[in-house]
Chain A
Amino acid sequence: KQEVTQIPAALSVPEGENLVLNCSFTDSAIYNLQWFRQDPGKGLTSLLLIQSSQREQTSGRLNASLDKSSGRSTLYIAASQPGDSATYLCAVSGNQFYFGTGTSLTVIP
């Protein structure tokens, strides 16, 4: 069974700092990996999707990388802002979708 782990569980940074969120998975037989954002009491919003054949995807200040062979993905957030405060989840798509438990990010003004 696929296991998805996200470290750290919580992170607090001052505004303007660059940061990296980590996601690891145990089974490299995946179709793709997605990063989502979840605000308190809300649903999930897709940020980036990386196909298994790709190494990275970029959207604005966000950059996600994928190393399928080592079972790792990172989400890089540049010049963090208070509005980035949320929980970030990664999910891998194999025979089913498997989600990590998320990293709760707080950006301090």
Chain B
Amino acid sequence: NAGVTQTPKFRVLKTGQSMTLLCAQDMNHEYMYWYRQDPGMGLRLIHYSVGEGTTAKGEVPDGYNVSRLKKQNFLLGLESAAPSQTSVYFCASSYGGREVDTQYFGPGTRLTVL
């Protein structure tokens, strides 16, 4: 049981490049989330999904796209990276929704955009 895993762990991009971050969970959770963590800002929700095939915007969705084609995977895409997207990205999952359930977090992806 690996829990929540994230690929890659580190990445350096040049401005304008694109990339996809992969999140996978093996706990059969319905809900999945993408956050970014910046110094002094706390974690902020980018996008989330309440089930396979669904996605929704969070607090800071601009510049990101997501897809949930399989229940166990949640992909975060950056189409044209900008230095402002330099951050640590965390994926999380939960069985139930925000009303009742705790979230399980992955180890994070550290992204630097030059």
Q: Which residues does A use to contact B, with CB under 8 Å?
A: 4, 31-32, 34, 36, 41-46, 49, 51, 89, 91, 93-94, 96-102
Contact = CB atoms under 8 A, between A and B. Distances in A.
B42 A102 contact: yes
For the residues of A in contact with B, the DSSP-based class is strand
A101 B107 contact: no
A96 B105 contact: no
Contacts, number: 56
Interface residues of B, number: 23
B90 A43 contact: yes
Contacts of A100: 42
A42 B107 contact: yes
B102 A46 contact: yes
Contacts of B45: 96-97
